[in-house]
Structure 1
Amino acid sequence: MNYECKAETGIQLLARSGTRPKVKGIDQSLFFRDVSCSPDNGDTLEVSGDGSVGKTLFVTQLMAQCILPRRIIVDGVDIHVGGLDAGAVFINTDHHFQIPKLVQIMEQRLRNCKINKSDAELSQIMEKHMENGLTKLMILNCYDSAQLMATFFSLEKHLSDNRSVALVVLDSATAFYWQDVCSSNVSDKRMDSYLKSVLSTFEKCVKGSSVLIVYTRPKYFYSKNPVNVKNPGPSSSGEKHKFTIQLSHLEADEEKILLNSDRLSAVKCKAVINTPKSSFECRYYISSQGIMYPDKDGD
């Protein structure tokens, strides 16, 4: 028999012994509409694609879903919002993320709850819950790989101190590749090797914390001679799974379509989703309101 001693720090033990909000179904309104196939606590989700296909927009919508409340009470009426009422950490390396877009998505979600109030009262209610949600989001800006590594190593204590955090997002994992290659900070210049090294450090620093890890990368970021990546196997918090979403334009980059519902111009795209159980595709649109689906708009 194979007897293996696995060491863990006191912080990891404390993190593993506690509970966190469940993220299962976090993407139910987006790509993983079958909850049984969606990522769970402790899993990793990779989002890849070319430019302008919505990678940052997708993780922004995930964060909005995470920090919004599950329900709100208005005049004694229990109103379903559908958020997770959980905390999130966003590691910002590409600097494409926009706070106004996050606020817009949160506001739209609250408006969709059909709260029966005047415009002035509704604005106050939404402002209150959006401010409360934004207090649950920590944004960590990094401008080089040294800052990124320092940020990774600070995560362990932050996650231990904040049991409400259920989502950690890295956008993107490859932002400093060319900077590091030009400054000779990497011994192996293969893109796959670089990505594997960054993710290895990232995942070790959140090991056992039972959070959903989401990271983005460009579609082109791979090597002609790829590095063999071993299956990470079970983690200390249970079985760990890898999910991938590959985003691309369905047709020419400049093609625009007209949505039937509100006649907004949008970019037509598709997503290829790979889960441990299955693979499937879905079409989506990028509009001023975010990521939308044909079947929700009467197409």
Structure 2
Amino acid sequence: MDYECKAESGLQLLARLSSRPDIHGLDEKLFSGGLHFGDVVEITGDIGSGKTLLITQLLAKCLLPKSMFEIDIGGLGAGAIIINSDHHFQLLKLVSIMESTFEENQQLDSSTIEKIIKTALANLIVLNCYDRVQLLVTFHSLDNILSSNKNISLIVVDSLSAFYWQDIVISGIHKMDFYLKKTLKTLQSCIQEHKIVIIYTKQAHFVSKINFVPESSKSVLGNITHRVQLNRMEGKGTESLCVAEITTLNSECTVPYRLTGEGLMWSS
């Protein structure tokens, strides 16, 4: 009988055994079955459909504490990383969305709200990238960041397709779906020792042919567990009808929404 001995570093062992805050309830409308560690969420849509606004409100929910000063806040109390490559993400918008969650809470004064938001922002790491090389270097730095930050449960990339046109000038033309799959695979390979939820955005025209795979094959690199297609269709006057098409491994559904200053408001 053959015996195989697998060695792992201390960091790998620590990453494998460490537990991170649960973000199962990140958004009940979008993810009715909840999110689980290792899930990959693709958010796609045209300009103005609300992609960056959506990830900003998801970050707010993730970062805000569950409770503080013996008051129920309603957040998840988890840390997050945002890799900002399109440079549409704004920290002030994140703060604004956080503040909007306290508008109807009469128990909190402005000083208390400020302390809660500062506590939440302390759990956010923003990594700005300006070219393909810097993006790849950032991916490879994630293992050390995650190993030293056990509170981080979410990685957001806005967007995964940001440097496609820059990259083809250097390395030649690639099919868009292959490029996206390869970039996602690189990201996943850099954090494979850690149980993390990944959410990334891409432009609607950046067509992906990454297929969903059976549950037993979820460990396959490049697997997407949730796809959220945001559609903004202009109506009469200033009105606009927005619809999110949500596809998972087991279901498909649509959820109407409105774009507001506080984020995407889901219609029942």
Length-normalised TM-score, structure 1:
0.81
2:83 touches 2:126 (CA, 8 Å); kept in 1? yes
> Is 2:98 the partner of 1:116?
no
When residues 136 and 234 of structure 1 are mapped into structure 2, their CA distance, relative to the original with a 3 A threshold, is: same
Q: What is aligned with 1:262?
A: none
Q: How does 1:274-293 map to 2 (within 5 A)?
A: 274-293=247-266
Question: 1:1-42 CA distances to partner (integer Å, 9 max, x unpaired)?
Answer: xx99987654333211110000101112x523x3xx122111
Q: How does 1:90-129 map to 2 (within 5 A)?
A: 90-112=82-104, 114-116=105-107, 122-129=109-116
Q: Percent identity?
A: 41
Tell me the SS of whatever aligns to 1:256. Answer: coil
Query: Equivalents in 2 of 1:202, 1:229: separation in Å?
Result: 18
Tell me the SS of whatever aligns to 1:246. Answer: strand
1:12 touches 1:207 (CA, 8 Å); kept in 2? no
Post-superposition offset of 1:253: 7.2
Q: Which runs of 5+ in 2 are unaligned?
A: none
> Is 2:224 the partner of 1:233?
no
Question: 1:126-169 CA distances to partner (integer Å, 9 max, x unpaired)?
Answer: 00110111111000000001000000000011101100001100
Q: What is aligned with 1:195?
A: 180
Q: What is aligned with 1:219?
A: 204
2:125 to 138, 141, 146: 138
Query: Equivalents in 2 of 1:79, 1:42: separation in Å?
Result: 31
Length-normalised TM-score, structure 2:
0.89
2:255 touches 2:267 (CA, 8 Å); kept in 1? no
Query: Equivalents in 2 of 1:194, 1:66: separation in Å?
Result: 29
> Which amino acid counterpart does residue 242 of structure 2 have in structure 1?
C
Q: What is aligned with 1:67?
A: 63
Query: Equivalents in 1 of 2:219, 2:9: separation in Å?
Result: 15
Query: Equivalents in 1 of 2:63, 2:211: separation in Å?
Result: 36
Q: What is aligned with 1:244?
A: 227
Q: What is aligned with 1:80?
A: 72
> Which amino acid counterpart does residue 107 of structure 1 have in structure 2?
E
Post-superposition offset of 1:254: 8.1
Q: How does 1:147-186 map to 2 (within 5 A)?
A: 147-182=134-169, 184-186=170-172
Q: What is aligned with 1:58?
A: 54
Query: Equivalents in 1 of 2:151, 2:94: separation in Å?
Result: 20
Question: 1:246-280 CA distances to partner (integer Å, 9 max, x unpaired)?
Answer: 1111x3278533xxxxxxxxx43100111222111
> Is 2:37 the partner of 1:41?
yes
When residues 229 and 12 of structure 1 are mapped into structure 2, their CA distance, relative to the original with a 3 A threshold, is: farther
When residues 268 and 176 of structure 1 are mapped into structure 2, their CA distance, relative to the original with a 3 A threshold, is: same
1:67 touches 1:87 (CA, 8 Å); kept in 2? yes
2:42 touches 2:224 (CA, 8 Å); kept in 1? no
Query: Equivalents in 2 of 1:104, 1:164: separation in Å?
Result: 23
Query: Equivalents in 1 of 2:16, 2:103: separation in Å?
Result: 37
Tell me the SS of whatever aligns to 2:102. Answer: helix
Q: Which runs of 5+ in 1 are unaligned?
A: 258-266
> Which amino acid counterpart does residue 131 of structure 2 have in structure 1?
D
Query: Equivalents in 2 of 1:218, 1:7: separation in Å?
Result: 41
